[in-house]
Amino acid sequence: MEKSSRIGKRLALCGIALVGFALAFGLYIAVNDSRDPARDPATPASRANSAVSAGRASAQSHAASGPAVARPHERAPSAPSEIIEHILSEDKNLRTFMSFHHMVLLDPQRRDEYRKLLADPAIMTEVAEALMQPGSGKVEVDEQYHRLMQIDYLEAALDWADNPQRQKALALTANVIAADSFRSDQDADRRQMLAGGKMELYRLLYDQDATKTQEMVASARGTRMETLVNWMSKENLRRLAREEEIRVEMQGIHAKAN
């Protein structure tokens, strides 16, 4: 049940700005910018080109140097425990969830309390609505950690196969993925964070209920999110295909060794 060691690695996914995604987002902006009431009508082309260029540059930077959760001029996450403590001090429900989530073994009473938390529709809705909010301004490390822990909550709710509110958790997860959280005035870091979170949730939803995922992809057709959702679908299938290739390769190596 202990997953805190995964957070640092998962920040890479939240900054997943691969070249393919950068191009997909650029296309999304180019196609939909004219429908964005916040855009500058005098410069739609330059706005779209800037989105592609910024996304591609950031993608290449991440690919070359790996995940960077803070730049030199920003507060570095040298003490993640302090960051997490600060976040949890302001989010009571998440604090309670993480207190259970970090326990390797739960006694019957605590297990029941934990399951009650995972089956609380009000908390599920609160977490989903928070993840659908785009936020604003410069992305801070605290915000990245907060969103990852909120995703952890949805993952735990879905991992409990007998969760009486599992269908609601599935529906809310799909809603977060399909929500149009992108704005034309967002910088590359914020778009990457939002997209990374959606990609992680997409993989989670697919692993939990492939049919529900396909329904979500279908429902995105004709919306502003169609391009991005289709990209996530194809990227996830590529991931699964590569994982299968690796599994077969490992079986071959094992067979030769024996």
Residue 210 burial class via C-beta count within 10 angstroms: exposed 0-12, middle 13-18, buried 19 and up: exposed
Closest CA to 186 of 55, 6, 13: 55
Instruction: Give the lowest-confidence range in 36-50, 140-154, 179-193.
Output: 36-50
Flag whether pLDDT at 84 surpasses 60.
yes
pLDDT, position 85: 87
- SS3 assignment, position 118: helix
Average pLDDT over residues 108-131: 96
Which bin fits 106, alpha (ψ -120 to 50), beta or left (φ > 0)?
beta
Q: What is the pLDDT of residues 170-228, one digit of tens each?
A: 999 999 999 999 998 899 999 999 999 999 999 999 999 999 999 999 999 999 999 99
Q: What are phi and psi of 202, to 5 degrees?
A: -60, -45
Q: What is the pLDDT of residues 213-258, one digit of tens each?
A: 999 999 999 999 999 999 999 999 998 999 889 999 898 888 888 7
pTM for this predicted structure: 0.72
Longest pairwise C-alpha distance within the chain: 68
Query: How confident is residue 115, by pLDDT bands cut at 50, 70 and 90?
Result: very high
Long-range CB pairs of 214-222, under 8 A, 24+ apart, other chains included = 215/174, 216/174, 216/177, 216/178, 219/178, 220/178
- SS3 assignment, position 148: helix
Flag whether pLDDT at 105 surpasses 60.
yes
